[in-house]
Structure 1
Amino acid sequence: MDDLHGSTGNALKSDSFGRILLVRQGGERFVRRDLTATPWWLRVPAWWLARREARALQQLGDMPATPRLLRWDGRWLDRSFMAGDAMYQRPPHGDVAYFRAARRLLQQLHRRGIVHNDLAKEANWLVLEDGSPALIDFQLAVCGNPRSRWMRLLAREDLRHLLKHKRMYCRAHLTPVERRVLKRHSWVRDLWFRTGKPVYRFVTRRILHWEDNEGQGPKP
C-alpha cells in the first residue's frame, strides 16, 4: 500500500475502528493506527479510543517493552514497531522466565500510573525476538494515581489476566499466592460479566459482525 506521504504500508489488522498498518518510511518502520478507514458512524468512538491510547503512550515515555508514541494528529496514531509475535502465535509453554519478566513489566507499568485494562487478549502480549515480553494496544488503558483504590483494583485485574495466561502455558509454576489471586474475583470483574460483556458481545457480533476470537482478532 502506497500514498502515505512518501511511505509504504502493509495492513496488519483491519476492523470497524480502522486499520493497523506497518509503515516503512525512510528506512524506518513504525505502526500506524489509521482512522481514515473508519466508517463515519464509528469515527467518534474510534477517535476517543485512539486519543486514549495516545495519552497512555505519552505517559509511558521511554519505558522498555512498550511502544513509543511518535505522532497523533486525530487521524493517524503512529507508534514505534517492536519485532515479535503475539502470545498465541508463539506460546511461552513452560517459560518461567517469560512470566517472571511479564510480572515485572506490569509492576513498572502500574508504578507509572497506567493500567492496561485489556490483558485477557493474548494478542496484546508480545513475545519479542529474544523471548522477552512486551505490551501493545493501549486503547482501553486507564491513567491515574497508582496509589488510589480504583487504580490498585484495576492493576490487580491486570495481574489476574497475566496469571490466567500463566495457568494456560506454565501451570506447574504457579505459586500458592498466585493461585489465590486467581480464585479471588473482584466486583469489577463480576460486574463486567453481568453487564458489560453481554453488551460488548451484542455490539461486536450483531452490529459490527466481528468475532474477537479470544484475542486473536477478527476471523477471516
Structure 2
Amino acid sequence: MNEQKLISQLAERFPQRDFHVDNLSVLHKGRFANAIVYRYKDDHFDFVIKDFQHSPWFVRKTLARLFINQEYKALKRLNGMDGVSDEYHRLSSIGIAYAFIEGVPLRTLSKQGEKIPKAFFNQLEHMVSEMHRRGLVHLDLRNLGNVILGKDGKPYFIDFQSAMTFDRFPVWLQRYMRGADLSGVYKGWSAVCELPVTGYKKIFFTNFNQFRKRWIFRGYPIHRASLWLIGLASQLPGAGLLRSITDRF
C-alpha cells in the first residue's frame, strides 16, 4: 500500500513518465520515528526516497514533517555545491526523493580495512567549509555512513535530516556545531586515510573529542539530538535573552 502510494507520488511529480512498483526496493527499513529509505531505479531515474507513511499518526503530523522539511531546505541551500545530490523533490509533507549517489560509505571502508588517499579528505574539508559558508551545519558527519566515496573517487555527503542553519544561534553553539562537522572529517581521516591526521588538525580533533566526553548528554544519538534541540530553542521567540547570556561564555 505504502509503496503504491510512493509510485503515485512519483507519477504526479513526473507525469510524462511511467513508474512501476517493481523498480522500488528497500535500502533501510525504518521503524516508528525513522523513515523507510527506498531506492527507485529504472532507465530514466535513480532516486533515494525517504518516507514516513508507516509511522504513527502523531509522528507523521509532527517529527516526520519537521525532518523532511529540514532535509529539503538543506538540499535547497546547498544546491550546486560539489558533493551534494543535485536533484531533489518533495513528494509529500512526509516524503522526499533525491538523486542516488553511487559509491561506498566510509563506515563500510573502515570495516573492510580499506585505505584511501589524503586528497579525498582535503576535498572533504573544503566541502565542509563551503557548507558552513552557506550557513548550514550537517550535525551527522561523525556517522561515517553519511560520507560516501563516490565511483569517481570524490567525497559526497548524504542524510541532511539533522542539518540546520546556524546564524541565529549563540556564538558558542555555532562554534561547537561547526566543530562537530569538522571533527567528522578528521574521524573519517583517522579511520580510512593512507596517512594519519597530523599537526593542528590532530590537535583540534583530540581536543574536540575530549570536550565531547565532558558533554552532559552522553551517547551519540542523544548528543546529536541535544545540539539540534538547543539550537532550535535558540531560534524561538523570546530566546534573545538566552542568546545574550550564552554569548558571554
TM-score tier by shorter-chain length is: 0.7 to 0.9
Q: Which of 95, 101, 107 is the matching residue for 1:76?
A: 95
TM-score w.r.t. structure 1 length?
0.79
Does the 8 Å contact 2:120/2:153 carry over to 1?
A: yes
Matching of residue 61 in structure 1 with residue 79 in structure 2 = yes
1:177 to 168, 175, 200: 200
The 5-angstrom pairing of residues 1-220 of structure 1 reads 3=4, 4-5=7-8, 6-7=19-20, 8-16=23-31, 17-24=34-41, 27-43=44-60, 44-68=62-86, 70-72=88-90, 73-91=92-110, 93-145=115-167, 149=171, 150-170=173-193, 172-185=195-208, 189-190=212-213, 193-195=215-217, 197=219, 200=222
Q: Whose strand fraction is larger, Structure 1's or Structure 2's?
A: 1
On the 8 A contact 2:179/2:208 being kept in 1, the answer is no
Give the superposition deviation at 1:129: 0.1
Identical-pair percentage:
20
Q: State the Cα distance separating 1:196 from its structure 2 match.
A: 5.4
SS at match of 1:99: helix
- Cα 1:80/1:146, change in 2 over 3 Å: farther
Q: Determine the C-alpha separation between the residues in 2 that align with 1:186 and 1:129.
A: 31
Query: Unpaired runs of 5+ in structure 1?
Result: 204-220
Following TM superposition, by how much is the alpha carbon of 1:79 offset from its aligned partner in structure 2, in angstroms? 1.1
How many aligned positions are there?
Answer: 201
**CA-to-partner distance for each residue in 1:106-150, whole Å, 9 max, x for gaps?**
111111111100111111000100221100000111213399733
Structure 1 or 2: more helix by fraction: 2
CA shift digits 1:156-208 (9 cap, x unpaired): 111112112212223743121011101223898356x422538849x9xxxxx
For structure 1, which segment, 151-160 or 119-128, has the greater mean C-alpha deviation from structure 2 after superposition? 151-160
Any conservation in 2 of the 1:58–1:69 contact (CA below 8 Å)? no
Alpha-carbon displacement from aligned partner over 1:7-26 (angstroms, at most 9, x marks no partner): 43111111122211111356
SS of match in other structure, 2:88: strand
State the one-letter code of the partner of 1:18.
Answer: A
CA contact (8 A) 2:27 2:37 kept: yes
Contact 1:114 1:146 in 2 (8 A): no
Distance 2:3 2:138 in 1: 32
Question: Measured at CA, do residues 66 and 37 of structure 1 come closer, stay the same or move farther in structure 2, by a change above 3 Å?
Answer: same
Q: Which amino acid aligns with 1:86?
A: P
Measure how far apart 1:47 and its partner are. Answer: 2.3
Q: Which residue is 1:214 aligned to?
A: none
